[in-house]
Amino acid sequence: MNEVRIRQVIILLNSSTFRAIASGRRRGLAALAIRILLHLFAIPYRLIVNVRNYAFDHGWRKIYRVSVPVISVGNLTLGGTGKTPTVAWISKWLITQKINPVIVSRGYKGDCKDKNDEAVELAEKLPDVRHVQNPDRLKAAQTAVADHAATAIVLDDGFQHRRLGRDFDLVLIDSTEPFGFEYLFPRGTLREPLSNLRRADAVALTRVDCITVECRAILKKRIQSIAPNAVWIEIAHRAAFLTERGGETVSLTSLHNARVVAFCGIGNPENFAQTLAREDWDVQECKEYPDHHHYTQRDSDWLLRRAEQCGATAVLCTHKDLVKIRPLWQGGIPLYAVMLETEMLAGEAELKTLLDVLITDKRLPESRTI
């Protein structure tokens, strides 16, 4: 059973429910039985992951390269770590350097004909940047170079996809849920062992504004013990403004002390709840949907009724959710996406230096030993 199939099974559990069970917060015999079952599923998964990585490490499986630099943005865990805003940040920076970046990604459920939610979100944030989706990332990269004149590839969620060679591996770790509950998927949310972090050229600890300075130091010490040569980066994602479903930009203060209802269908819904909690909104409810949820008219109507029942003056969601539910929204209560800004609190200069070397010389210093 591959990762995608097991993820579909886990979606049957509410995301927060799964995390409560995997983390050990959910007590009782039923939760214990589920953890044991998930641990058994993790054994063959670990074997497959280890064999696959060993094959790439020792040349048994071939790595293919394209003629332009490839910058991979990935993670070690399932769920949201801030990849989409980081991909956008890197793409914008490359444009300032007169580089033509093309984003390459798998496309959720392997559908390379229709854009998925992240692709639509990136298209709105980066209207001038091409995005090629294909389950075969090598073919997607080749298409980006041949058809779109890419002078750099930004590989979205590429850390585990080793068949396409890359010149730079940036790995994101969510500070609020950093190590996948210390277990490999599906017992935890690790996609591969923590030791494989040694492949990273840079490690970015995201959402650092959600934890204390002391916690940052503890996480940094542990991560750097695994990947001592990786550049260290700290990223904060903060609410910056609101986007109305028609595209208009609205300030956060326009909803000062407002009663609101919220919803999201993302990998880590608790992070969205934390974002809401940092503002002065009176959140009556935050409805969770599975990651990559395909909204229906029934979903839209239910949310609108719930907002009316709560006396809400607005409904809030993430940008990823807005691009999907926007055509379905009917009613007088306004719908807004909470838009985040990416701020690098540490390591920005070092990251830009490495990327500049890469796009200038099309190479990095000698690869790290694996």
pLDDT of residue 335: 97
3-state helix, strand, coil split of the chain in percent (to 5) is 45, 20, 35
With a CB cutoff of 8 Å and minimum separation 6, the contacts of 113 are: none
C-beta separation of 352 from 231 below 8 A: no
pLDDT of residue 46: 96
With a CB cutoff of 8 Å and minimum separation 6, the contacts of 120 are: 323, 324
Domain ranges in the chain are: 3-57, 70-237+343-361, 238-340
pTM higher than 0.95: no
pLDDT of residue 368: 37
**What are the C-alpha distances in Å from 159 to residues 109, 241, 301, 360?**
18, 31, 39, 23
Q: For residue 260, with 0-12 CB atoms within 10 Å meaning exposed, 13-18 middle and 19 or more buried, which class applies?
A: buried
**Phi and psi of 46, rounded to 5°?**
-60, -45
**Phi and psi of 319, rounded to 5°?**
-60, -35
How far is the C-alpha of 23 from the C-alpha of 19, rounded, in Å?
A: 6
C-beta separation of 76 from 157 below 8 A: no
pLDDT of residue 61: 97
Indicate the residue type of 246. G
pLDDT of residue 16: 75
What are the average pLDDT values for consecutive 10-residue runs of the chain, which has 370 residues?
52 67 88 93 96 97 96 92 92 96 81 62 91 96 97 97 97 94 93 97 96 96 97 95 93 96 90 92 94 93 96 96 94 93 95 94 46
With a CB cutoff of 8 Å and minimum separation 6, the contacts of 153 are: 66, 68, 69, 70, 71, 101, 102, 103, 104, 141, 144, 145
The fold of the 70-237+343-361 domain, in CATH, is Rossmann fold (3.40.50)
Asked whether the CA dihedral 10, 12, 16, 21 is positive or negative, the reply is negative
- Considering the domain 238-340, what is its CATH architecture? 3-Layer(aba) Sandwich (3.40)
pLDDT of residue 367: 41
pLDDT of residue 370: 36
